[in-house]
């Protein structure tokens, strides 16, 4: 069961397969027991990429004092995750046509292998060990009757990853395609999908357009962030506009997900470090209105959305609007909180670390099923 995972003594080898690094580790309980091992993915060549994956897990295996019981890791989709088959990956073209990665690793290491995507495992880790239990703990501390059961985990980095967790269960869908929010429409450029904006390369392209300079002269998103903050020389106006657009596209995507899933949101990944830059436009979009034919308007979202990085916003979410409600035909009262609300905050964990914890929990629960 989920509640005892932190005491589990079984070891699981893990991998966070990012676009720029493969990060290998091993988890016991809910703690990493070796230092992360980072290898270049060699994603342009299938044979070299597979050799990198095998060698990474071999290095992890060589550092363990006790044998691992499973391998569990994040890998990009689309994929048939239950069967460990990786499909046609936009960011890893060498995998086109389908690669039975799980079966290959099971054959090589002679142990169960579990694969899921990074958005799912990030969300799972935050739901069990990070953001969700912390918020619910804070709610109990102020004697609020409210508890959150649904978590929307978002990774902002190489791409726009999303995972959905409901009552400690991952929502993966019938086609292993649950939470593939990168395919939502870009509200600023409706002919494109959201990840065209919500990615490292999307930020660079946006800055290129606004600064009117060649893409080859554009630095990393972090460098653009530094320009926007005035910490580095450059086109500050274009950098600020770049992150404003990022926030608008992200805000609309999150509003759509919240409308369908009704959960609290945690952001992770390298680009989440620019939260202060994109958050104002993000919240503005989430708090926008629809026009009605009678001339009126309607809030974009039913619940109020609070900035959980702002002490005032977090306090509003925690306090709610509790009141006593009399039960009809009795002298008994109950506590009622009619204030519908949610929030968006930034993970306090290393993304690779929390993905590893999610991968561990996913494997342990699968083994015990």
Pairing between strand 304-307 and 341-346? Answer: parallel
Band of the pLDDT at 310, cuts 50, 70, 90? very high
List, for residues 148-197, the tens digit of each pLDDT value.
999 999 999 988 999 999 999 999 888 878 888 999 999 999 999 999 99
Residue 30 lies in a domain: yes
Residue 76 lies in a domain: yes
Burial of 317 (0-12, 13-18, 19+ CB in 10 A): buried
List, for residues 103-142, the tens digit of each pLDDT value.
999 999 999 999 998 899 999 999 999 999 999 999 999 9
In terms of domains, do 320 and 235 share one? yes
| pLDDT at residue 19 greater than cutoff 60 | yes
Domain holding 19: CATH number? Answer: 3.30.420.40
Residue 33 lies in a domain: yes
Residue 216 lies in a domain: yes
In terms of domains, do 7 and 87 share one? yes
In terms of domains, do 11 and 92 share one? yes
List, for residues 38-89, the tens digit of each pLDDT value.
999 888 889 999 999 999 999 999 999 999 999 999 888 788 999 999 988 7
In terms of domains, do 252 and 306 share one? yes
In terms of domains, do 304 and 190 share one? yes
Query: Around Cβ 12, how many Cβ atoms within 10 Å?
Result: 26
Pairing between strand 264-268 and 150-156? Answer: parallel
Summary mean pLDDT of the chain? 93
Ramachandran sector of residue 36 (left: φ over 0; alpha: ψ -120 to 50; beta: rest): beta
List, for residues 344-361, the tens digit of each pLDDT value.
999 999 888 899 899 999
In terms of domains, do 229 and 161 share one? yes
Residue 352 lies in a domain: no
In terms of domains, do 112 and 163 share one? no
The secondary structure element, H or E, covering residue 275 is: helix 275-286
Which residues share a beta bridge with 297?
Answer: 291
Query: pTM of the predicted model, to two decimals?
Result: 0.91
Residue 40 lies in a domain: yes
Whole-number Å distance between alpha carbons of 114 and 362: 8
In terms of domains, do 141 and 247 share one? yes
Band of the pLDDT at 2, cuts 50, 70, 90? very low
Residue 123 lies in a domain: no
Count how many domains the chain has: 2
Tell me, what's the pLDDT at 3? 46
For 98, phi then psi, to 5°, come to: 100, 130
In terms of domains, do 219 and 283 share one? yes
Average pLDDT over residues 248-269: 97
Nearest to 7 by CA among 332, 366, 361: 361
Tell me, what's the pLDDT at 178? 86
List, for residues 273-282, the tens digit of each pLDDT value.
999 999 999 9
In terms of domains, do 249 and 289 share one? yes
| pLDDT at residue 1 greater than cutoff 60 | no
Q: Give the residue numbers spanning the domain of 43.
A: 2-118+357-368
Band of the pLDDT at 91, cuts 50, 70, 90? low
In terms of domains, do 151 and 169 share one? yes
| pLDDT at residue 92 greater than cutoff 90 | no
| Contact by Cβ (8 Å): 333, 324 | yes
Residue 124 lies in a domain: no
Whole-number Å distance between alpha carbons of 74 and 56: 14
In terms of domains, do 77 and 173 share one? no
Tell me, what's the pLDDT at 69? 97
């Amino acid at each position: 069961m989920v509640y005892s995972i932190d005491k589990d003594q079984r070891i699981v080898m893990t991998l966070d397969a990012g676009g720029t690094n493969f990060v290998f580790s091993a988890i016991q309980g809910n703690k990493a027991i070796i230092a992360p091992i980072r290898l270049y993915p060699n994603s342009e060549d299938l044979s070299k990429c597979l050799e990198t994956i095998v060698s990474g897990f071999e290095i992890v295996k060589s550092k363990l004092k006790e044998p691992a019981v499973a391998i569990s890791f994040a890998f990009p989709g689309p994929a048939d995750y239950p069967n460990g088959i990786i499909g046609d990956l936009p960011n890893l073209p060498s995998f086109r046509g389908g690669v039975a990665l799980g079966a290959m690793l099971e054959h090589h290491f002679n142990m169960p292998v579990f694969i899921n995507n990074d958005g799912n495992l990030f969300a799972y880790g935050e739901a069990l060990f990070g953001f969700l239990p912390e918020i619910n703990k804070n709610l109990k501390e102020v004697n609020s009757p409210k508890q959150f059961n649904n978590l929307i985990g978002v990774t902002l980095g190489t791409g726009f990853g999303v995972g959905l967790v409901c009552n400690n269960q991952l929502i993966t869908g019938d086609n292993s395609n649950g939470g593939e929010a990168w395919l939502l429409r870009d509200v600023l450029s409706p002919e494109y999908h959201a990840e065209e904006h919500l990615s490292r390369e999307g930020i660079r392209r946006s800055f290129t357009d606004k600064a009117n300079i060649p893409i080859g002269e554009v630095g990393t998103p972090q460098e653009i962030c530094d320009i926007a903050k005035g910490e580095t020389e450059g086109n500050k106006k274009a950098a600020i506009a770049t992150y404003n657009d990022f926030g608008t596209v992200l805000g609309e995507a999150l509003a759509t997900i919240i409308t369908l899933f009704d959960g609290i949101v945690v952001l992770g990944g390298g680009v989440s470090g620019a939260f202060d830059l994109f958050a104002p436009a993000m919240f503005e979009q989430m708090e926008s209105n629809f026009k009605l034919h009678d001339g009126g308007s309607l809030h974009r979202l039913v619940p109020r959305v609070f900035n959980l990085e702002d002490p005032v916003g977090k306090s509003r979410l925690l306090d709610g609007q509790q009141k006593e409600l009399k039960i009809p035909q009795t002298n008994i009262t109950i506590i009622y909180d009619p204030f519908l609300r949610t929030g968006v905050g930034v993970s306090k964990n290393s993304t690779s670390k929390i993905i590893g914890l999610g991968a561990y929990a996913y494997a342990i629960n699968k083994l015990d099923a």
